[in-house]
Chains A and B, each alone.
Chain A
């Protein structure tokens, strides 16, 4: 394995309507561990996907070991010695470690089509010795711990002679002891001149393992920190940025004291624990946190899409059992899911059919026959009130723009006349104009007395709309902030470290 320097210079990449990366530089020297930090959507994974050949940059150059390269597949990147280990491990759980290690690169006996098992076993033993870990080779990978599965991924990368390893959130599902072990392996790699790009949301770990930290924000490189000379506070400031945009206007809340909805000690799969908060009549409660903090999962437990193991849900102070989305709708709780195409839209149907999907109860007679006149009337009413741009209510939902599709989905839930509306990333993937319209709609709904839980990964809109902000981290509520105390800094501090103030001043 030769040790090479990676230089990415002036990388720019845009997707339709979004500038994902703008003029980003990144350098990694042999034997260096570089942390890559930033909020959700800052461009970390896009940058890594460009490096490993998943995407092509619009402009900019990548130099690897002094030579300019441009990978068009991850396989090419691998062959050149750059491997990525994804957060979601990419293995075949039904196969044994050896099969996974050599998947797609099986060794054959000379001049024969048969596998050279002996050689593969020998090489596997070598690489695990090198990493100083022992893995049970006689069981299927699914029976191994996440930590061991990760070691197999690392070993697999080393078998392809990787000299640069990218680890995307490698510690997200490891125990403390396993993390220590992983860091031992990273130190080992480092001492052999192998470089690591370490992507993580956990500040402590980044400060423990990296040499330098590069911060991305909104697709731009915000500069780098030398780890040993920096504090966590400096890092957060860099990630969040100083300027709070004045684009958003203050909302005069009309929330009342009446508690409409409350969860108490809600727990359930996959990792939600003791979540408690309440929502008042006409109040917007923002639900903030990093990806994987458990916001969507909490919503799914509330509407009965997943089964809670513990805890109570109270409507108007009375405990209710909600076992399915059907029962949630019947009780006046509406949930707008985060992934529009996968969870909200029925693409082969018309705008009208999508819009009225949740109100068949209102539209049907005793025979179950839908009253078309009433259905058209309701559809037209919402097309008008939400200003949905379309030529015809009978056109396919798939032919609308993302923003208008989302408005149809919002209309679908408004038509159920909900008391509690849970909005999960309602502005994701829609343009600026549609976004401000959605914000206006949300504010108006709250003012008309609807209680709203607003999940978003974009702090500015959380701050703009929320009366209170519930910050979640690793499946738990870590803090609840009043509107006046909520800032990007307090929220991010809580999301990263578990409390609004408790950020270590030390390096």
Chain B
């Protein structure tokens, strides 16, 4: 009996020592405060809406997380979302089978990732510059094509990917779970994942160990573009139109999710679970501030402060 208790305790202490535990605790405290200040926070309809929003941010954040794990950054995910959405909506409007149109949108979005990955890994341009540039290229392409007008007349048959639910849980949340599980398996069970962490820890040593570092870094940008494209297309279904400015600012939200979730911007450490919790913190904070009727100007400043706070706490945890 005593032994069983001891083992139970060691499990508890192992959980407490996980870095995710601290941020998860922070999330719970935040939720408690919001619930006290705004009792409709934990209502069914609010949770439904918030979880759907969080799921979308989390999917993009996981792709971004892969890139950050090697010490890189992708500033183009927001614009990639927009471009993938516009490309698929445009194809649908032109009468293509909606599922083929979605496939087309995914391919266009992933091409941005191929462009980023090629320049970063093989031409050796710093990722900050490459993805800043490709962000503008993607945004500009959207405007050239749409002239700033939304693309409407989205076929009803695909709307469920954003608006539908299964077992009372929104479809985007299911998609997020699938993406998260795949990401978790890839990162913890496969050679590819092991190497991603290794590159973040010591790129030189990984290269000299006989790992094709360039190829791996290339694929990380493709992965980031892939997850961004998924969400870009879900947003089309959500608003039943493709907006020219869809995805604007999402790169910051997703980078913030990863960082708040304990991912080191220097690379080498962080987890999928951390990213999910980080996305929850950002999503719930934004929602809570609305429910508490905080002015939208303040909301922006407060979210910014939380991001800085997370980075500062992370710094002190390390030293």
Contacts and interface: CB of A to CB of B under 8 A. Distances in A.
Nearest to A367: B190
Contact of B191 (A305, A325, A360): A360
A345 B198 CA distance: 9
A327 to B, nearest CB: 8
B66 interface: no
Contacts of B205: 337, 342-346
A337 B208 CA distance: 8
Contact of A369 (B189, B206, B208, B210): B189
Contacts, number: 76
A358 interface: yes
A369 B192 CA distance: 8
User: Chain B contact residues: over half helix, strand or loop, or mixed?
Assistant: helix
29 contacts: A324-B210, A325-B208, A325-B209, A326-B211, A326-B212, A329-B210, A330-B210, A335-B208, A337-B208, A343-B204, A343-B205, A344-B205, A346-B198, A346-B202, A346-B205, A346-B206, A346-B268, A347-B201, A348-B197, A349-B197, A357-B206, A357-B211, A360-B195, A363-B191, A367-B190, A368-B190, A368-B192, A370-B190, A370-B191
Interface string B10-51: 000000000000000000000000000000000000000000
Interface string B203-246: 01111111110000000000000000000000000000000000
B269 interface: yes
A348 B210 CA distance: 19
Q: Which of A345, A346, A349 has the most CB of B within 10 A?
A: A346
Contacts of B190: 364, 367-370
Contacts of A303: 208
Contacts of B208: 303, 305, 325, 335, 337, 343-344
B198 A305 contact: no
Nearest to A346: B201
A370 B193 CA distance: 10
B194 interface: yes
B204 A364 contact: no
Contacts of A305: 207-208
Interface string B163-202: 0000000000000000000000100011110110110111
A370 B186 CA distance: 10
Interface string A310-349: 0000000000000011101110000101000011111111
Nearest to B203: A346
Interface residues of A, number: 30
A328 B205 CA distance: 15
Given A342-B205, A357-B211, A367-B190, 7 more contacts: A305-B208, A335-B208, A342-B204, A346-B205, A348-B269, A353-B194, A368-B192
Contacts of B207: 305, 325
Nearest to B191: A360
Contacts of B189: 369-370
B257 to A, nearest CB: 21
Interface of B: 185, 189-192, 194-195, 197-198, 200-202, 204-212, 268-269
A370 B269 contact: no
A308 interface: no
A357 B269 contact: no
A145 B311 CA distance: 45
Contacts of A360: 191, 194-195
B125 to A, nearest CB: 20
Contacts of A343: 204-205, 208
Given A305-B207, A370-B191, A347 B202 contact: yes
Interface in A350-405: 353, 357-358, 360, 363-364, 367-370
A412 interface: yes
Given A325-B207, A357-B206, A357-B211, A348 B191 contact: no
A369 B186 CA distance: 8
Nearest to A413: B209
In order of increasing CB-CB distance, the 3 nearest A-B pairs are A329-B210, A360-B191, A346-B201
Nearest to B186: A368
Contacts of A346: 197-198, 201-202, 205-206, 268
B198 A364 contact: no
Given A342-B204, A348-B201, A370-B190, A358 B212 contact: no
A370 B194 contact: yes
Contacts of A370: 189-191, 194
A326 to B, nearest CB: 5
A353 B212 CA distance: 17
Contacts of A330: 210
A416 B211 CA distance: 13
Nearest to B192: A368
A367 to B, nearest CB: 7
A312 to B, nearest CB: 22
Contacts of A353: 194, 198
Nearest to B200: A348
Contacts of B194: 353, 357, 360, 370
A326 B214 CA distance: 11
Contact of A324 (B201, B202, B212): B212
Nearest to B264: A348
A349 B201 contact: yes
A328 B210 contact: yes
B141 to A, nearest CB: 34
A416 to B, nearest CB: 8
Nearest to A330: B210
Contact of B198 (A326, A337, A349, A363): A349
Given A368-B190, A370-B194, A358 B204 contact: no
Contacts of B191: 360, 363-364, 368-370
Contacts of A412: 209
B212 to A, nearest CB: 5
B300 to A, nearest CB: 34
Contacts of A345: 202, 205
A329 B209 CA distance: 8
Q: Which of B197, B210, B212, B269 has the most CB of A within 10 A?
A: B210
Nearest to B211: A326
Contact of A358 (B185, B192, B209): B209
Contacts of A344: 205, 208
Nearest to A349: B201
Contacts of A369: 185, 189-191
B68 to A, nearest CB: 14
Nearest to A335: B208
A416 B209 CA distance: 10
Nearest to A361: B191
